[in-house]
């Protein structure tokens, strides 16, 4: 068996879907072919990562299939030197991207891809699901803030020109909810403002989007993956508040946010 025969069978081997004889032949090849062994290990690790996080983040079946198909295609690609091939072809196309699969960086890159795709906003998912996913993503990807500042006069103008809305930014440090910063995020495929507040060791995300006829009044989404999600609309803006904070404390914060700002 050579590499070109081995690569298309890696996924089947992983799924225990090969008969005994081809499985033994493939194992024999893997035993003395480090590049194929790395490709096999990459597939296995990626599949494990998806399984491990599937319950937490409920990656939809179609998305999971897409990731596995990409990885399988990469593993099935002939094991040529990707760098040289991509350069010769003159554009960083599919082979260019995947050709270096099997190098030391490939595993980390593929896992980042898997986790990013798994957590990417899913169009059509209920908004509270997207809000919770965005909250988790902000904590996991070390991308909590684009602008880290407790000064609302620094955070508020940062959104100028980046969004077609001007999010009201207030600090509540005096009552135990200090402003930590802000960033751009995405809900329902649209850019939104995300303000980050802290309560002791807890992180609170406040998403602000155009209201689009969102319900007025304070509402609570059904508990989603252990997070409390509160939402309301006010003055043409829809606000979504999410945290693992104690529910009563998050309700208290929502009331503070909805209270009229003090006279300047």
Binding site for Zn ion (CB under 5 A): 3, 6, 33, 36
Q: Which is nearer to Zn ion, 33 or 186 (CB)?
A: 33
For the CB of residue 79, give the shortest distance to Zn ion in the complex, in Å. 6
Q: Which is nearer to Zn ion, 3 or 73 (CB)?
A: 3
State the minimum distance, in angstroms, from the CB of residue 32 to Zn ion: 8
Q: Could you give the CA distance from residue 49 to residue 43 in angstroms, rounded to a whole number?
A: 10
Q: Which is nearer to Zn ion, 38 or 137 (CB)?
A: 38
Query: Smallest distance from the beta carbon of 102 to Zn ion, in angstroms?
Result: 10
| Distance in Å, CB of 35 to Zn ion, minimum | 6
Give whichever of 33 and 127 is closer to Zn ion, judged by the CB atom. Answer: 33
Q: What are phi and psi of 177, to 5 degrees?
A: -130, 70
Nearest alpha carbon to residue 138 among 192, 58, 196 = 196
| Shortest Å, Cβ 40 to Zn ion | 9
Min separation Cβ 3 and Zn ion, Å: 3
CA 184 – CA 181 distance, rounded (Å): 11
148 in helix, strand or coil? Answer: strand
Give the span between the Cα atoms of 215 and 218, in whole angstroms: 8
Residue 260, exposed/middle/buried by CB under 10 A (0-12, 13-18, 19+)? Answer: exposed
Instruction: Pull the structure tokens for residue 132.
Output: 């919770």
Q: 259: buried, middle or exposed (CB in 10 Å: 19+, 13-18, 0-12)?
A: exposed
Residue nearer to Zn ion on the CB measure, 32 or 91:
32
Q: Which residue's CB is nearer to Zn ion, number 33 or number 218?
A: 33
- Whether the CA torsion 156, 161, 162, 165 is positive or negative: it is positive
Strand positions, DSSP E, the chain:
147-148, 179-187, 190-199, 202-210, 219-220, 228-234, 237-243
């Amino acid at each position: 068996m050579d590499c070109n025969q081995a690569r298309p069978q890696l996924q089947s081997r992983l799924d225990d879907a090969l008969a005994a004889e081809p499985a033994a032949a493939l194992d024999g090849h893997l035993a003395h072919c480090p590049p194929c062994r790395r490709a096999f290990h990459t597939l296995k690790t990626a599949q494990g990562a998806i399984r491990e996080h599937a319950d937490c983040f409920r990656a939809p079946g179609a998305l999971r299939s897409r990731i596995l198909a990409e990885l399988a295609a990469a593993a099935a690609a002939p094991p040529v030197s990707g760098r040289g091939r991509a350069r010769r072809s003159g554009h960083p196309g599919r082979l260019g991207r995947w050709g270096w699969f099997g190098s030391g960086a490939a595993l980390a890159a593929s896992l980042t891809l898997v986790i990013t795709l798994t957590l990417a906003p899913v169009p059509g998912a209920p908004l509270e699901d997207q809000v919770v996913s965005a909250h988790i993503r902000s904590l996991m990807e070390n991308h909590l803030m684009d602008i880290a500042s407790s000064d609302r006069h620094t955070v508020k103008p940062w959104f100028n020109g980046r969004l077609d809305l001007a999010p009201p930014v207030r600090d509540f440090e005096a009552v135990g909810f200090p402003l930590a910063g802000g960033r751009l995020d995405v809900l329902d495929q649209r850019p939104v403002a995300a303000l980050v507040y802290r309560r002791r060791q807890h992180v609170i995300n406040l998403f602000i989007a155009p209201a689009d006829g969102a319900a007025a009044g304070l509402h609570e989404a059904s508990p989603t993956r252990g997070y409390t999600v509160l939402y309301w609309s006010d003055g043409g803006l829809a606000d979504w508040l999410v945290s693992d904070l104690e529910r009563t404390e998050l309700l208290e914060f929502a009331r503070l946010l909805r209270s009229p700002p003090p006279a300047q």
